[in-house]
Amino acid sequence: MATVAEIFKTMEYGPAPESDKEALAWIAKHEGTFGHYIGGAWTRPAKTFDAINPATSKVLARLADGTTDDVDAAVAAARKALPAWKALSPHARARHLYAIARGVQKHSRLLAVLESMDNGKSIRETRDIDVPLVARHFYHHAGWAQLLDTEFAGYEAIGVVGQIIPWNFPLLMLAWKIAPALAGGNTVVLKPAEFTPLTAMAFAEIVHEAGLPPGVVNLVNGHGETGAAIVDHPDVDKIAFTGSTEVGRIIRKATAGSGKKLSLELGGKSPFIVYDDADLDSVVEGVVDAIWFNQGQVCCAGSRLLVQEGVAERLVAKLRARMEKLRLGSPLDKAVDMGAIVAPVQLERIRELVQQGMDEGATMWQPSWSCPTEGCFYPPTLFTDVQPASILAQVEIFGPVLVTMTFRTPEESVALANNTPYGLAASVWTESINLALDIAPKIKAGVVWVNSTNLFDAAAGFGGYRESGFGREGGREGMWEYVKRAPRPASRAKPPAARPTPAPRPAADALPPIDRTPKLFIAGKQARPDGAYTRRIVSPGGVQLGEAPEGNRKDIRNAVEAAHAAKGWGRATGHNRAQILYYIAENLSVRADEFASRINAMTGCGAKASRQEVEASISRLFTYGAWADKYDGAVHSVPIRGVAIAMNEPIGVIGIACDDRYPLLGMLSLVAPAVAMGNTTIVIPSQPHPLAATDFYGVLETSDLPAGVINIVTGDKDALAKVLAEHDDVEAVWYFGARDGVKAVELASASNMKRTWATWDDRDWLDRDAGEGREFLRAATHIKNIWVPYGE
C-alpha cells in the first residue's frame, strides 16, 4: 500500500468514471431514435443517420436526416409562430427564457453526460464549462428580453432565423444562437451538427417542458445539405452560422442579394503571445487551456505559441514536462484532461496536417505515454522549428496541436500575430500592464485575453473579423444581430422624390464655358484618372453641366493604397477628428449657396430642397464631430475578478458607394461617421450627380484633413463598388443602391470575408432618425473585447 508521502510525490490517482446510466436510459426512452422537433412536436423519422460515441465507436442513437420538405415544414412552423411570439410583452418573453435557463440547470447532469458521450469532450469540461455557460446565456438573455423595448427602442425582431452550428460546443453554440434570437422576438430553425445532435434533442424536451409556444424553436437534424436548405430558404430572414471559413464563404455567396441578414463565426489561428517577463508557470497552465481544452477543437484555440526568444527554451522545457503529466482517456472519467476527437474524419485530418508539418521540416514532440487504441484519440502535440509561412502556422488544424515560433521585439510579435487571414482571438502574457494594453489594440482579433485564455461569458461579445467572420455573440453587441430597425411611420418612410425641372439653358450670346473637367481625389490631391474617359453630367432637362472622370480599377487601387497609408488617422484622438469635421462643416457653409445651386442644377429638386440638403449636410458633419469623442465602449459585467473592456475600434479601410439621389447629403451621411470613428475611405459618389462631390475636393483641401483619409473616385458606381468588394486590402464595403449592386458587392466580398453593409432600402437622409446616429457608428466600428483579470 502506498504511503501518503509517496502519493504526494507521484500524484497518482485512479479512474473516477461518471455514470452513463441516466443518459442511456434517456436515449432508450426515445427508443434510440429521434425525429425533428417541428412546431412543438416530434416528427417520425424516415431516413436516419447515426450518432456515434467517438470514445467507443459505439452507436448512441439514430436521427432523422432532414430533407428540404422537413426544412420547409420547420420554416413554416417558425413563420406561423412569429406574430404571436413577437407580440408577446418583453416581460412574457423574459419569463420563457428564464424557464429555459431553469430547465437547463435542472437537467444539467444529463446534458453534461450526453454531451461528453456524443462529442468526446471530457465530463469536467461539459459539467463545469459548457452546461453552466448554457444556463448563464439563457439567464442573461432573459434580461435582454425584459429590457428589449427600452434598450433597443426603435428596433424589432428580424423574423424567422435560420441557425447552423458545429460540433465542437454543441449545446453551448445552440444557446449562443437561440437565446439572443428569442430575446429579440424572433423564431428559430436550427440545425445541430451531424456529429453531435443529442443535447439539442434533450434541449427540445426542455423547451417543451418549459411551455415555449409551438414553432418558436424548431430543430432539424441532418447534414450539410440540410443546412444549405435552411440557408437557401426564401422565407428565412436571417442566417447565423458557426463553423468553418470554407462553409461560411459558401453561405456568404448563397445569401448575396437575398436581403437576409448574416452573422458568421468562423475559424481562427489564434496567437498566444508570451513576453519574457511573463510568469512562465501560469503560461504553461494557460497553454493547456488554450490548445488542449476540448482537444484543441476550439475556433479560438491558442494554436500559435509566439514566445520571446530569451524564454523560449525554458518555456518549451516546462511545457514538455507538463504534457507528460496530462491525462487522456475516457471522456466520462472525471480525472482526465483530454477526451476523444469528435470523429474519425477529424482524426484523419489532424494526422494529415501533422504529417505535412513534419514533411516541411518542423520538429514534432509528443509525450511518452500512449493513447487508448480504441476510439478517436490523439495526443497533445508540440511543434518547434516552425516557419511562419508553413502549413502548421497558417491552417486551422482543429486538434491538440501547438506550433511554436519565436520573436525578438514586441513589434515583431504583433507582426507575427497578425500574419494570418483570421482575426478571432489572442492571448497576451506579460507582467507589464503597459505592454499588454499597448499590444492588445494592435492585434487584429475580436477578443484579446490578457494573462488568461478562453474566457467566455454571456455578457461579453465574442466574434472576430477578417476570415473569422463578422457579428458578435453575447452581450449588448450580440443582440444587435437579432434586431432590425422598425419601419418608420408612413409619413416619413419615403424621401420626397426629386422633382426634375429643366435647368435654364445658357443665353444665346453667352461666351462658351472654359472646359473644366474635375479629376479624382486621391491621397489629398486632385489626381488625373488612369483612363482618359469622362462621363457627361447633365441636368434633368438635358443641359450638360460638366464632365466627371470615369474612374477604373487602377484608380481604385491607388485610392486603396492612399487610404492604407493614412491609417494613422485611426490613432488620432476623437477630439482631433472632431475638430476636422467641424472645420469641413465650416468651409462647406461658406460655400453653401454654390453647393445648393449645383445640387439644384443636377437633380432639379428646386432651390428650397437643395438648400435644405446643404444645411442638413452641415448639420450631419456636426453630428459626427459631436460623436467623434463620445461613442464610448463599455466595461462588461463578467463573472471574473477583472474587467472585460469592450473597445470600439475603427474597421480600417472602408469602401463607400453612395446613394444616388442626394449628391451631397447621401455622401456625407456615410463618410462622416466612417471618418469620425477613425476609418479611412474610398468614396464612390452619386453616379448621375457626382459634381457636388468633385466640388467638395476644394472643401477638403482647405480643412486640414490628412491626405488619404477621404479619397473620391467618380464613375460607374456598381463596377467600382465591385472592385472595392473584391479588393483584399479593403476591410468593409458600404453600398447604397440597387438590388443587383447589393448582390454583386456581397458576392465579391466573400473573397476576404469583408464586412458589408449593402442595401437597396429607401432611406430618407433628411430625417435625422433615419439618416444618422448609432446605427452608422456601429457599422463603422468593430468591438474588441479585452479581458484583463486582476489580483495576485
Q: Which residues bind ligand NDP (CB under 6 A)?
A: 164-168, 191, 193-194, 223-224, 227-228, 231, 242-244, 247, 250-251, 266-267, 299, 346, 349, 396, 398
> From CA 286, how far away is CA 437, in angstroms rounded?
19
By C-beta, is 177 or 722 nearer to ligand NDP?
Answer: 177
By C-beta, is 148 or 266 nearer to ligand NDP?
Answer: 266
> From CA 199, how far away is CA 133, in angstroms rounded?
14
> From CA 585, how far away is CA 614, in angstroms rounded?
10
If one counts every other C-beta atom within 10 angstroms of the C-beta of residue 264, the result is 24
Choose the catalytic residue: 125, 265, 396, 731.
265
Q: Which DSSP category does 462 fall into?
A: B
By C-beta, is 56 or 295 nearer to ligand NDP?
Answer: 295
Closest residue to ligand NDP, judged by C-beta, is 227
Taking the complex as a whole, the smallest distance from the CB of residue 239 to ligand NDP amounts, in Å, to 9
Taking the complex as a whole, the smallest distance from the CB of residue 295 to ligand NDP amounts, in Å, to 12
> From CA 260, how far away is CA 239, in angstroms rounded?
7
Choose the catalytic residue: 299, 300, 605, 658.
299
If one counts every other C-beta atom within 10 angstroms of the C-beta of residue 790, the result is 11
Taking the complex as a whole, the smallest distance from the CB of residue 393 to ligand NDP amounts, in Å, to 15
Contact 522, 711 (CB under 8 A): yes
> From CA 275, how far away is CA 73, in angstroms rounded?
55
Taking the complex as a whole, the smallest distance from the CB of residue 224 to ligand NDP amounts, in Å, to 3
Q: Is 32 helix (H, G, I), strand (E, B) or coil?
A: coil
- Amino acid code (one letter) for 297: Q
Strand-pair category, 363-365 with 381-384? antiparallel
Taking the complex as a whole, the smallest distance from the CB of residue 219 to ligand NDP amounts, in Å, to 12
Taking the complex as a whole, the smallest distance from the CB of residue 52 to ligand NDP amounts, in Å, to 13
Q: How would you write 627-693 as a 3-class SS string? A: HCCCCCCEEECCCCCEEEEEEEEECCEEEEECCCCCCCHHHHHHHHHHHHCCCEEEEECCCCCCHHH
Q: Give catalytic status of residue 265 as yes or no.
A: yes
By C-beta, is 250 or 437 nearer to ligand NDP?
Answer: 250
Element (H, E) at 736: strand 732-736
By C-beta, is 451 or 468 nearer to ligand NDP?
Answer: 468
- Amino acid code (one letter) for 195: F
- Measured CA to CA in angstroms, residue 624 lies from 40, 575, 584 at distances of 48, 11, 11
By C-beta, is 18 or 396 nearer to ligand NDP?
Answer: 396
What is the CA 158 to chain-centroid distance, rounded?
A: 18
> From CA 191, how far away is CA 49, in angstroms rounded?
14
Q: Give catalytic status of residue 658 as yes or no.
A: no
Q: Is 54 helix (H, G, I), strand (E, B) or coil?
A: coil
By C-beta, is 192 or 375 nearer to ligand NDP?
Answer: 192
Taking the complex as a whole, the smallest distance from the CB of residue 764 to ligand NDP amounts, in Å, to 37
By C-beta, is 299 or 392 nearer to ligand NDP?
Answer: 299
DSSP for 255-308, please give it. HTTS--EEEEE----EEEEE-TTS-HHHHHHHHIIIIIGGGG--TT-EEEEEEE
> Smallest Cα–Cα separation from 780: which of 729, 731, 736?
731
> From CA 346, how far away is CA 230, in angstroms rounded?
25
Taking the complex as a whole, the smallest distance from the CB of residue 297 to ligand NDP amounts, in Å, to 7
531-540 CB burial, b ≥16 within 10 A, e <16: eeebbebebb
Q: Catalogue the active-site residues.
A: 265, 299
